[in-house]
Amino acid sequence: MDFSVTRGSRRRAQNDNGWFRKLKAGAALSCLLAGTLPGYAIGLPGQDAAAKPSSLPSAPGAIPAPNFTQPLFMRPSDRDFSKARGYFRNPLAPYLPTTAPAGNFANSPKLGDLVKDGKIYLSLSDAILLALENNYDIAIQRYNLDIADTDILRTRAGGNFLGVSSGLVEGTLGGSGQTVTSGGGPGGTSASAGGAAAGGSGLALTTNGGGSTPETLDPVLTGTVELQRQSTQELSPLFYGTDKLNQNSDTYNFAYNQGFLTGTQLQVSFNNSYTTSNNLYSTYSPALQTTFNAQLTQHILQGFGWGINGRFMVQAKNNRRVADSAFRQQLLYTVNQVENIYWGLVSAYEDLQAKRRSLEQSQALLDDDKRALQIGTMAPLDVVSATSSVETDRQAEISSESNLEYQQLLMKQAIARSLEDPVLANAPVIPTDRVSLIEMPEERESADDLVRQAVANSPSIEQAILTLKNDEITLKGEKNKLLPQVDVFAFYGASALGGKQSPNCEDFYTGTTCPPNTYPSTNYSSAFQNLFNSSSPDKGAGVQINIPLRNRVAQSEQARSELEYRQAQMRLQQLYVQTRMNVINAQFALTNDRASVQSANATLEYDRQSLDAELKKLHLGASTTALVLQQQRALAIAQNSVISATAKYAIDRAALDEILASTLDRYNISITDAATGNVKTAPVIPGLRPAGSEPEVQLPAQQQRLQQEQQGPPPQQQ
């Protein structure tokens, strides 16, 4: 279909080409309205849009439409930015600037409570709680809730909404430990796909918010008070009876304008003037002039009705729900990211333990070989081989120490807002939780059940549905803009004159002075009454028509809005398919990870027993150092495999919860608490076990040096 031609040309093309009818049928098929979603209907202004159900495209495969039960309109601060400040108590309040509270860049006290003996003993629950309170990504996303509220206030006055970002904030580094996967973490802020304030992906601009302009609902009162003193040299004294006209004017004009949701405009003007003049032909000096006019204009076609003039209010409320959904998505993303960082830290911690055990074994073997060389029972080459193994293990230990320090730093920047405190900055983080291999419920559920759960809770699908509703509202506005402007209006007005007869009054034709009381004196009160007694009325009614010929701009905008609406429908259907694929893939990954952990543990046990047997043979003279070193390498590889497989299982289990959007419910995280930044209840993380009696690793070399510098030089011996 060629949207660059006019409607007449397009109609001829439709008659000549049967494929256009097929295209319409395909578009209708892609928009099967099989499910309903309460809470996102297009309602009348002043009503909550949640009061009316609206049909929406359902997920394929008879999956019910999402049923979002998360609380709406969460607010991070006590101030409700969707409400205007009234005149009560302070008449100047509506005209004073709003100040938002300054951001808090200090860590929550809970972080300091975890520092013991110069170390941070951190459980996964503590890490998530601290991230909910301190993480910058969540804090930045939290502002969008209040920003969206300002749009609600703006649209209640008849203004257009400015929109709100629904993309994820991805400024926290990390996500997967280097022991698990290589590479750095994400950064920056992602862009939403068809979000609240953006069109479909790839469009530079969008018709969102287009259509006929709604009425300005906030009344406007204007006033003009002017005092003028004027003296003018006249070229034709004949007209004024003097060669220098002196005129003093006091003007008091007032006007009131207001629009209504019905597409009605009210304009009221009330003008007054007080004038004195030396004009010989002025009958009154001072002269009192007052006029009144009230006009009511009603749009008949374009701009008519509640649905057109109140549509921005509905879209602003939908955008607020998008902000709520984006905040929930940010919580899911950040919690999952913190989990990944935590398991990366656990892997780095256990990896350093394994590397140090390997170094101890290599060093013990080297010591035994040196003693055997001294007594002549060992060849020098075996000692060289053992020495090489020790140096290799020492280099691996140094690399593991660096990785652990980096993982600790990643964890700190994810759960803290400030690392200026040297105690906190240099304190090592000791993870106290380990993942349990107890089978989780989602591993036993069918894929279809998990897909239904993911579709019902997915923030991405929720935002896509809300975007589709906004596109539908925009499409109605663009269709209305296609109509001509037809306005009917009626007005009533009047004018009145009063004052005192001018002492300089002369008859223009005879040149004689006006007799006293020729023009009776009238005070302002009498003149004001004459405005409403029909003594000098000005009233009428009419119709104003504005028909844009060809109307190509409106046609193109409406066609683009239609295309964006169909694109949003396609995007929603794609999300359904992507969600299914992601759920099934994550479930498969979890099954494979469990098998990998079990296989790695079995291999580790075999290599441990093989090394013990090879050491016994070496002591009995039935083996060689090379074979022992070979078994040590195999054991080290097996240990790394167990660490990586276990961390991969923990990470994929958290990823499945994020895809199902069940993390917050499963961990008992209150979205309202997260919105305020004050978490009252610690998260409860299932599927964990304590670290047990594993020995703590010593401080990495760099952290040891920093602590020694802080403590100062040791006291000198007497």
Read off the pLDDT of residues 246-282 as tens digits, 9 standing for 90 and up: 788 899 999 999 999 999 999 999 999 998 877 666 7
3-state class percentages of the chain: helix first, strand second, coil last, to nearest 5: 50, 15, 35
pLDDT for the residue numbered 182: 33
pTM of the model: 0.80
**Alpha carbon distance 73, 575 (integer Å):** 25
| Burial zone of 44 (CB within 10 Å; 0-12 exposed, 13-18 middle, 19+ buried) | middle
Per the CB < 8 A criterion, the answer to whether 209 and 160 are in contact is yes
| Residue 320 CB partners (closer than 8 Å, separation 6+) | 72, 73, 82, 145, 148, 149, 151, 152, 164
pLDDT for the residue numbered 89: 84
| Residue 157 CB partners (closer than 8 Å, separation 6+) | 216, 217, 218
Residue 42 DSSP symbol: -
**244-260 and 53-56: which strand pairing?**
unpaired
Per the CB < 8 A criterion, the answer to whether 587 and 479 are in contact is no
CA dist 157 → 162, 265, 570, 648, 696 (Å): 13, 14, 34, 53, 63
Distance of CA 320 to the CA centre of its chain: 9
For 604, list phi and psi in degrees, rounded to 5. -60, -45
Residue 592 lies in a domain: no
Range of the domain at 528: 220-260+264-302+485-546
- Nearest to residue 418, comparing CAs of 675, 174, 129, 104? 104
- Nearest to residue 454, comparing CAs of 658, 652, 662, 660? 660
Residues of the chain with pLDDT under 50: 2-55, 60-64, 67-71, 176-189, 191-203, 717-718
Query: Model confidence over 435-455: pLDDT tens digits?
Result: 988 888 888 889 999 999 999
Q: Given strand 115-116, what is the order of strands in its sheet?
A: 115-116, 119-122, 429-431
Residue 623 lies in a domain: no
DSSP 287-350: EEEEEEEEEEEEESSTT-SHHHHTHHHHHHHHHHHHHHHHHHHHHHHHHHHHHHHHHHHHHHHH
**429-431 and 284-299: which strand pairing?**
unpaired
pLDDT for the residue numbered 382: 81
Per the CB < 8 A criterion, the answer to whether 678 and 203 are in contact is no
Residue 227 lies in a domain: yes
Query: Model confidence over 212-248: pLDDT tens digits?
Result: 889 999 999 999 999 988 887 766 655 555 667 778 8
Residue 653 lies in a domain: no
- Nearest to residue 473, comparing CAs of 320, 323, 316? 316
Residue 74 lies in a domain: no
Count of domains in the chain? 1
Per the CB < 8 A criterion, the answer to whether 484 and 546 are in contact is yes
Query: Model confidence over 668-715: pLDDT tens digits?
Result: 999 999 998 889 899 999 988 898 755 555 555 555 555 555 555 555
**Alpha carbon distance 494, 512 (integer Å):** 33
Residue 207 lies in a domain: no
Residue 232 lies in a domain: yes
Residue 251 β-bridge partners? 226, 273
| Residue 714 CB partners (closer than 8 Å, separation 6+) | none
**Alpha carbon distance 615, 613 (integer Å):** 5
Per the CB < 8 A criterion, the answer to whether 566 and 24 are in contact is no
> What's the length of the chain?
718
pLDDT for the residue numbered 476: 93
Tokens of 682: 């610690």
- Nearest to residue 280, comparing CAs of 509, 520, 498? 509
Q: Which residue type does 603 have?
A: T
Residue 297 lies in a domain: yes
